[in-house]
Structure 1
Amino acid sequence: MVTLDVIALLAHVTLGTLAVIVGAIALGSRKGRKVHVSAGRVFVISMGVASVLGAILGALKYETFWITFHAGILGATLVASGVLAVRIRARGAKRWFIAIAVLNALNAAALFAAGWHATTLPDARLFGFAAGDYFFLFGMAAIAFGGDVRMTIGTRISNRHRIAQHLLRMCIGFFIAAGSAFTGPGANAFPQAVQDSGYCRCPNWQSCF
Structure 2
Amino acid sequence: MPTSDSVFLLSHVTLGTLAVVVGAIALGARKGRKTHVSAGRVFAICMGLSSLLGALLGALKYETFWITCHAGILGATLVSSGVLSIRIRMRSAKQGFTAIAVVNLLNSVGLFAAGWYATSLPDTRLFGFAAEDYFFLFAMAAIALAGDIRMIFGEEISDKLRIAQHLVRMCIGFFIAAGSAFTGPGASVFPEAVQRSGLLSLPELTIILLMLFWLWKTLRQPRPLVAAQ
Does TM-score exceed 0.5, indicating one fold?
yes
Identify the range of structure 1 (124-133 vs 178-187) with the bigger mean alpha-carbon deviation: 178-187
Identify the range of structure 1 (47-56 vs 184-193) with the bigger mean alpha-carbon deviation: 184-193
Deviation of residue 184 (structure 1)? Answer: 2.1
Give SS of 2:162's match: helix
Partner Cα distance (1:134, 1:154) in 2: 30
Give SS of 2:187's match: helix
Q: Check the 8 A contact 1:98/1:152 in 2, yes or no.
A: yes
Partner Cα distance (1:52, 1:164) in 2: 25
Task: Show the counterpart of 1:171.
Answer: 171
Task: Show the counterpart of 1:71.
Answer: 71
Deviation of residue 187 (structure 1)? Answer: 2.9
Task: Show the counterpart of 2:42.
Answer: 42
Task: Show the counterpart of 1:22.
Answer: 22
Give SS of 1:94's match: helix
The Cα offsets for residues 64-120 of structure 1, whole Å up to 9 and x where unpaired, read as: 111000000000000000000000111111101000000000000000000000011
Deviation of residue 197 (structure 1)? Answer: 5.4
Partner Cα distance (1:163, 1:175) in 2: 18
Partner Cα distance (1:4, 1:195) in 2: 29
The Cα offsets for residues 10-62 of structure 1, whole Å up to 9 and x where unpaired, read as: 11001101100100100000000000000000000000000000001100111
Task: Show the counterpart of 1:86.
Answer: 86
Give SS of 2:199's match: coil
> Letter of the aligned partner of 1:124 in structure 2?
T
Task: Show the counterpart of 2:204.
Answer: none
Partner Cα distance (1:32, 1:4) in 2: 40
> Letter of the aligned partner of 2:41 in structure 1?
R
Task: Show the counterpart of 2:10.
Answer: 10
Deviation of residue 183 (structure 1)? Answer: 1.8
Give SS of 1:117's match: helix
Kindly indicate whether residue 101 of structure 2 is the aligned counterpart of residue 114 of structure 1.
Answer: no
Deviation of residue 200 (structure 1)? Answer: 3.8
Deviation of residue 188 (structure 1)? Answer: 4.1
> Letter of the aligned partner of 1:87 in structure 2?
R
Task: Show the counterpart of 1:157.
Answer: 157
Q: Which runs of 5+ in 2 are unaligned?
A: 202-229
> Letter of the aligned partner of 2:174 in structure 1?
F
Give SS of 2:123's match: coil
Task: Show the counterpart of 2:226.
Answer: none
Q: 1:10 to 1:196 in 2, by over 3 A?
A: farther
Kindly indicate whether residue 55 of structure 2 is the aligned counterpart of residue 58 of structure 1.
Answer: no
> Letter of the aligned partner of 2:20 in structure 1?
V
Deviation of residue 122 (structure 1)? Answer: 0.7
Deviation of residue 155 (structure 1)? Answer: 1.1
Structure 1 length as normaliser, TM-score?
0.92
Q: Check the 8 A contact 1:17/1:186 in 2, yes or no.
A: no
Identify the range of structure 1 (122-131 vs 187-196) with the bigger mean alpha-carbon deviation: 187-196
> Letter of the aligned partner of 2:178 in structure 1?
A
CA RMSD across the alignment: 1.5
The Cα offsets for residues 118-140 of structure 1, whole Å up to 9 and x where unpaired, read as: 01111111111100000000000
> Letter of the aligned partner of 1:22 in structure 2?
V
Give SS of 1:70's match: helix
Give SS of 2:181's match: helix
Deviation of residue 195 (structure 1)? Answer: 5.0
Deviation of residue 199 (structure 1)? Answer: 3.0
Q: How many residues align?
A: 201
Structure 2 length as normaliser, TM-score?
0.84
Deviation of residue 191 (structure 1)? Answer: 6.3
